[in-house]
A and B are shown apart, each in its own frame.
Chain A
Amino acid sequence: MSPSSVKAIAEPRGAPRRGWHRFANPGRFLRAASKVQPWLTAFGVVLTAVGLIWGLFFAPADWQQGDAVRIMYIHVPAAWLASAGYLMLALCSAASLVWRHPLADLAAAEIGPIGAVFTALCLATGSLWGKPMWGAWWVWDARLTSVLVLFFLYLGHITLVRAFDDPTRGYRAGAILALLGVVNLPIIKFSVDWWNTLHQPATISLTGAPSMYIGMLWPLAFSAVGYACVFAALALAGTRAAVMERRIRALLLAEAARAEDSAPGAADALETQVPA
């Protein structure tokens, strides 16, 4: 970590920023996030529980798929969040490259593992649905393959961000990978239209009426909004922890520097406490 980034986290300075930029101040972010996160967590848990219980016990079975359609209440929100999470990761990466906000770096590093988990959940539940419906755990279908690529992009970002001794270099490399990987998002979205795939086309679109029975649509909506709140709450909690960990590192480094000034050699003991 460069001394300037330590200072930016430990002692945010400069004129107050307007709009969304003011949340780039770590202190202000911590205060805002500590108020929002408990509500997001509560909403997320309640809405997800309602959606999943409704989908599992009260929604009707599909006339063709039978009860296996209940996997949709997990699979579809996980798929949406896998793509939406990557978009958030790319936006944080753009903010990091353009405005050099240290907070954007930390947020991107925290979104990566959560997005990867939701992508893995999407792939796993897709397999669990595919085996009884298609007779195969996996097929090299355009939609499935592009989501697998998304999973690898997440893994690449997670690895790259943590691969350098200087975290700033890791954040830069991860941001570039995240922005390059955005090209995969429209491929995922339109793969079912561009290629003749085994995966069914979208049943819900922003422009048209959903081609789904309303008794199935409601639990799906609850589950999707609930999981989105859970995703956001996890990202906020992770970013809060990351900001605090950087403050800890900055404090330990400052303390080590003070100890070195007063008694040369005494700082070695303190430096062993500084987290990587």
Chain B
Amino acid sequence: MTHLPFIAASYALAVLVPAAFGLNAYQRLRRARRRLAALSGHGHKARSAGNP
């Protein structure tokens, strides 16, 4: 294959960059979901405690 280093670098960028972005988005979603669930539970308890 001619120009192999240029092609390999291009394909590495094409795979790694979107994959890194996807991983970051997945972790951000998971963190937000977990925090929201914890906060919603906490708020519910607080409201329940305030209004027995």
What chain A residues lie within 8 Å of B46 (beta carbons)?
A: 255, 258
Query: How distant is the Cα of A230 from the Cα of B6 in the complex, in angstroms?
Result: 24
What chain A residues lie within 8 Å of B25 (beta carbons)?
A: 234, 237-238, 241
Residue A131 at the chain B interface, CB threshold 8 Å: yes
Instruction: Establish whether residues A230 and B22, one from each chain, have CB atoms under 8 Å apart when the complex forms.
Output: yes
What chain B residues lie within 8 Å of A129 (beta carbons)?
A: 6, 10
Instruction: Establish whether residues A70 and B22, one from each chain, have CB atoms under 8 Å apart when the complex forms.
Output: no
Question: Known contacts A52-B14, A67-B1, A125-B13: does B22 contact A41 (CB below 8 Å)?
Answer: yes
Given A61-B2, A121-B14, 4 more A-B residue pairs with CB atoms under 8 Å apart are A117-B17, A238-B25, A238-B28, A251-B36
Residue A56 at the chain B interface, CB threshold 8 Å: yes
Most buried by A among B1, B10, B22, B36: B10
Can you give 5 A-B contacts (C-beta < 8 A)? A67-B3, A234-B25, A244-B33, A251-B43, A255-B43
Instruction: Establish whether residues B22 and A67, one from each chain, have CB atoms under 8 Å apart when the complex forms.
Output: no
What's the A-B contact tally at a CB cutoff of 8 Å? 98
Instruction: Establish whether residues B11 and A52, one from each chain, have CB atoms under 8 Å apart when the complex forms.
Output: yes
**What 1/0 mask marks residues of chain B from 29 to 52 whose CB sits below 8 Å from any chain A CB?**
100110110011011001000100
Query: How distant is the Cα of A131 from the Cα of B6 in the complex, in angstroms?
Result: 9
Question: Known contacts A74-B10, A237-B29, A241-B32: does B4 contact A67 (CB below 8 Å)?
Answer: yes
Residue of A whose beta carbon sits closest to that of B39: A251
A-contacting residues of B (Cβ < 8 Å)? Answer: 1-4, 6-7, 9-11, 13-15, 17-18, 21-22, 25-26, 28-29, 32-33, 35-36, 39-40, 42-43, 46, 50
Most buried by A among B26, B28, B50: B28
For the residues of A in contact with B, the DSSP-based class is helix
Interface size class of A (residues with CB under 8 A): 35 or more
Instruction: Establish whether residues A114 and B21, one from each chain, have CB atoms under 8 Å apart when the complex forms.
Output: yes
What chain B residues lie within 8 Å of A113 (beta carbons)?
A: 21
Instruction: Establish whether residues A117 and B21, one from each chain, have CB atoms under 8 Å apart when the complex forms.
Output: yes
Instruction: Establish whether residues B11 and A56, one from each chain, have CB atoms under 8 Å apart when the complex forms.
Output: yes
B-contacting residues of A (Cβ < 8 Å)? Answer: 41, 48, 52, 56, 61, 66-68, 70-71, 74-75, 78, 113-114, 117, 120-121, 124-125, 128-129, 131-132, 227, 230, 233-234, 237-238, 240-241, 244-245, 247-248, 251-252, 254-255, 258, 262
- Smallest CB–CB gap between B21 and chain A, Å? 6
Residue of A whose beta carbon sits closest to that of B25: A237
Instruction: Establish whether residues A74 and B17, one from each chain, have CB atoms under 8 Å apart when the complex forms.
Output: no
Instruction: Establish whether residues B29 and A240, one from each chain, have CB atoms under 8 Å apart when the complex forms.
Output: yes
Query: How distant is the Cα of A114 from the Cα of B1 in the complex, in angstroms?
Result: 32
Instruction: Establish whether residues A67 and B13, one from each chain, have CB atoms under 8 Å apart when the complex forms.
Output: no
Closest 3 CB pairs of A and B: A244-B32, A237-B25, A66-B2
Instruction: Establish whether residues B32 and A248, one from each chain, have CB atoms under 8 Å apart when the complex forms.
Output: yes
Question: Known contacts A68-B3, A71-B7: does B17 contact A121 (CB below 8 Å)?
Answer: yes
Query: How distant is the Cα of A4 from the Cα of B50 in the complex, in angstroms?
Result: 25
Question: Known contacts A237-B29, A241-B32: does B6 contact A71 (CB below 8 Å)?
Answer: yes
